[in-house]
Chains A and B, each alone.
Chain A
């Protein structure tokens, strides 16, 4: 007769470990107010409510090749006609929050990483890497290792931020211009 005795107390241990562990604190580089001031100083910003039709959603995903998240980005229109987006993309463990400014002509004018919570890979914060996005429009390829360099050791984060920028440029074209 086969016996399947099992010490069920073992199953309690992984949750126990997680209770004991202090949650990771996010590295917050910018709050929303700070990023508004940093990217669009002395501009008057007006929030832009956004609701997408099914056809617009499909158009954004088709143009960008990136899936829209359930939660849409927060959007403000500046007095000079620029648009500020605060959006999130997936990091290895948690969301990466970033801000993007697209000017009146549809080109990237600013990109800042606002919150980053990963073990490593915060080189995506480096200005030299973020400069690669400046001036890019929805006509650009915007692919990692094509026109955007990969950050070795932060491949997932740099890929997802690149995908996010491509998605916002498509969203701007489809719903905001």
Chain B
């Protein structure tokens, strides 16, 4: 388990450092070209081509106090066939939080239950390794629309997870306007540390594995505004459930924001901003307690999210 403390000061410029890391990484590396931060398209690497990519996601602010969570992904992709692509990536994260919970306690995504609720928490850690396969059934260039299937198992010291996705794409105006939509199902096991601040007899007081599942619907539109440049908008609806098989609906959260993509012969970058819309629906008492202004916080989401992806062809 790769897990260590970083000085608290790191959090102050973490957002900028994470993104600069991404930029620097791009010089060594690339992935296939995503027009969006979250929505996948059916464009894949041609057979025999490689790409390296770096993702950096910053999830910022909850209902109060300080919360910043950064997720990093280092990825290598390979075109096995023209319609089948494989990727391998490592996922890590850095979290800094201080009295950000609805009740003024230190908590949130990536903050373990045994963190001191009255003090600042900061930690960088390795999360998991993922293998991603995408198989394209229909191409938007030669068929009336594009269709692809995606499967991604992930494994880590505190995580076993399987994400599957259906990807649709439709192009208009000589392929200068791209519409894409995904339906994603994520089923996984997460290891909880246990909360020593709870009475001993309560379930949450002890380390344990918990099951959860997510159904996410995303959609985006992106238009080629100039050679090399696409600008667009993307929407995301994230629905969380307790249990691996959608046993109990916990919440529904909504995001909408702009995305910009730059692509050249050997380099591409995509930047997206996703503010959480005040349309969130908590379905359990626990989630209702972490919802403020119709935004879902708690261990699920933040007020706004930034994502920068960069890639390099080789």
Contact = CB atoms under 8 A, between A and B. Distances in A.
Nearest to A24: B265
A14 B260 contact: yes
B265 to A, nearest CB: 3
Contacts of B262: 14, 18
A13 B176 CA distance: 26
Interface residues of A, number: 42
Nearest to A159: B141
B30 to A, nearest CB: 8
Nearest to B51: A119
A96 to B, nearest CB: 11
A145 interface: yes
Interface of A: 1-7, 9-10, 13-14, 16-18, 20-21, 23-25, 66-67, 90, 92-95, 117-121, 144-145, 150, 152-156, 159-160, 163
Given A5-B61, A152-B82, A155-B142, A92 B19 contact: no
A13 B293 contact: no
A159 B15 contact: no
B63 A17 contact: no
A22 B208 CA distance: 51
Contacts, number: 111
B60 A154 contact: no
Interface residues of B, number: 47
A154 B304 contact: no
9 contacts: A2-B293, A10-B16, A90-B175, A90-B176, A93-B265, A117-B265, A120-B49, A153-B46, A153-B47
- Most A CB contacts (10 A, CB to CB) among B22, B141, B271, B306 go to B141
Nearest to B60: A6
B263 interface: yes
B79 to A, nearest CB: 8
Contacts of A154: 46
Contacts of B263: 92-93
